[in-house]
């Protein structure tokens, strides 16, 4: 028989680790001295202790450690557990590579915020563009749901009008989802601009443009930026709004995210699947990530991330489904995903996803990068939204 100290030396485990695994019911001694409480291990337990040491180094969960050590000789149970864990590690490595790639870009760019104040005042002095009314109306409708209502984040309480080359981008975010709408520029005078309009003027512009398009599908809209205001003219009407003198987060790096999976499906089909799917509890915060739409890595999200959650699964053939089985622990969900040979599972806020679906039309493309990467929902007109993944409780 070996003492706990001797077994620790020969197996590579520490004495404290052996005590922990004993209390956790994973690996215990063959005998405990009733007088002294000393633990004694049989000679044939050394092999299991050395196996346990190696599995511990790769982070195998306790429940799966029990399965491996308890697996009968000649069965495939232990190998199946190791295969599942290896797939998890590979997925985590792929996620880490994508995050580090984004981090390298941020280091290069230094993540300069979208400055909508003094640095762009010159550009605002003489900028005028025209766009199709139908495209601008669709872009406004596509981003409105993502505007923040948090009074402590006034820089997110509006819609960014950002002239980027030949396209006008409209952007809104509340930190947990981000929406981007696009309208092609038909003509332009002056230089580019970035103007942050409060919700009120943005909604007035939306009503003006929608009315003009209802009267004439080919209606054209003129947008002029002068000083600290934006003026939109369409169908004989005009709306002028004062810009917010605040810095909007830099959204441009998220436009370039590289997804690992793309799934095409109709808006109605996805909405039906989400409504019929199982609702799960979430933790008190969404997953922190350097890809957060409006924050640097490490910021703690607030209550806006809480709410009903659903789990989306992508199979090996590229199909997508809403996980329908009853709510289980994260480890149980991972085990079920492995059993189904799924390529990926990601959890998102159910209500946020429904709002994003309702803001789009026709055929959709869902882009999924991993369990800690944003879920992108793109429509055929070029508008899209991003939802941050949610950590299951």
Q: Please give the DSSP secondary-structure letter assigned to residue 50.
A: H
Residues contacting residue 365 through CB under 8 Å, at least 6 positions apart: 262, 263, 264, 377, 378, 379
Q: What's the pLDDT at 300?
A: 34
Q: What's the pLDDT at 392?
A: 64
Q: Tell me the per-residue pLDDT of 290-325, one tens digit each, with 9 for 90 and over.
A: 344 544 333 333 334 567 888 888 887 778 888 875
CATH architecture for residues 2-70: Orthogonal Bundle (1.10)
- With 0.75 as the threshold, say if the pTM is over it: no
User: 2-70 with 257-392: one CATH topology?
Assistant: no
Q: What's the pLDDT at 118?
A: 38
Q: What's the pLDDT at 372?
A: 77
Q: Where are the domains of the chain?
A: 2-70, 118-242, 257-392
Please state, in angstroms and rounded to a whole number, the distance separating the CA atoms of residues 17 and 23: 10
Q: Tell me the per-residue pLDDT of 221-236, one tens digit each, with 9 for 90 and over.
A: 999 998 889 999 999 9
Contact at 8 Å (CB) between 374 and 389?
yes
Q: What's the pLDDT at 285?
A: 42
State which residues of the chain have pLDDT below 70.
102, 105-106, 108-126, 256-257, 259, 281-306, 325-341, 392-393
Residues contacting residue 333 through CB under 8 Å, at least 6 positions apart: 311, 323, 345, 392
In CATH, the number for domain 257-392 is 3.10.150.10
Q: What's the pLDDT at 298?
A: 32
Contact at 8 Å (CB) between 392 and 333?
yes
Q: What's the pLDDT at 297?
A: 31
Q: What's the pLDDT at 336?
A: 63
Q: What's the pLDDT at 139?
A: 94
Q: Does domain 118-242 have CATH number 1.50.10.10?
A: no
Per-residue tokens: 219? 């209606």
């Amino acid at each position: 028989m070996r003492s706990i100290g001797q077994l620790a030396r020969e197996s590579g485990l520490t004495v404290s680790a052996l005590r922990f695994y004993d209390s956790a019911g994973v690996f215990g001694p063959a005998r405990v001295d009733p007088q002294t409480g000393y633990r004694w291990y049989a000679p044939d337990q050394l092999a299991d202790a050395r196996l346990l040491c190696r599995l511990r180094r790769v982070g195998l969960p306790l429940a799966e450690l029990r399965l491996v050590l308890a697996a009968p000789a000649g069965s495939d149970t232990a190998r199946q557990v190791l295969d599942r864990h290896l797939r998890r590690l590979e997925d985590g490595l792929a996620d880490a590579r994508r995050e580090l790639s984004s981090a390298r870009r941020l280091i290069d760019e230094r993540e300069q915020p979208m400055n909508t104040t003094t640095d762009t005042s010159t550009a605002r002095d003489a900028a005028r563009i025209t766009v199709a009314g139908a495209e601008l109306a669709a872009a406004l409708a596509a981003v409105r749901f993502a505007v923040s209502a948090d009074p402590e984040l006034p820089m997110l309480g509006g819609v960014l009008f950002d002239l980027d080359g030949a396209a006008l981008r409209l952007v809104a975010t509340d930190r947990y989802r981000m929406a981007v709408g696009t309208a092609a520029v038909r003509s332009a005078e002056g230089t580019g601009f970035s103007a942050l309009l409060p919700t009120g003027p943005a909604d007035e512009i939306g009503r003006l443009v929608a009315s003009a398009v209802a009267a004439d599908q080919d209606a054209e809209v003129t947008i002029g930026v002068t000083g600290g205001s934006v003026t939109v003219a369409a169908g004989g009407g005009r709306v002028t709004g004062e810009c917010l003198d605040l810095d909007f987060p830099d959204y441009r790096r998220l436009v370039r995210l590289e997804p690992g999976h793309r799934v095409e499906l109709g808006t109605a089909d996805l909405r039906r699947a989400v409504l019929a799917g199982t609702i799960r509890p979430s933790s008190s915060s969404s997953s922190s990530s350097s890809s957060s739409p409006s924050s640097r890595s490490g910021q703690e999200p607030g209550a806006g991330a809480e709410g009903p959650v659903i789990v989306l699964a992508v199979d090996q053939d590229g199909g997508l489904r809403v996980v329908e089985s009853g709510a289980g622990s994260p480890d149980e969900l991972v085990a079920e995903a492995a059993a189904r040979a799924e390529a990926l599972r990601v959890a998102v806020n159910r209500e946020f996803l429904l709002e994003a679906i309702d803001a789009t039309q026709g055929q959709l493309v869902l882009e999924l990068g991993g369990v800690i990467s944003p879920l992108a929902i793109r429509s055929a007109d070029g508008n899209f939204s991003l939802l941050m993944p949610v950590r299951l409780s």
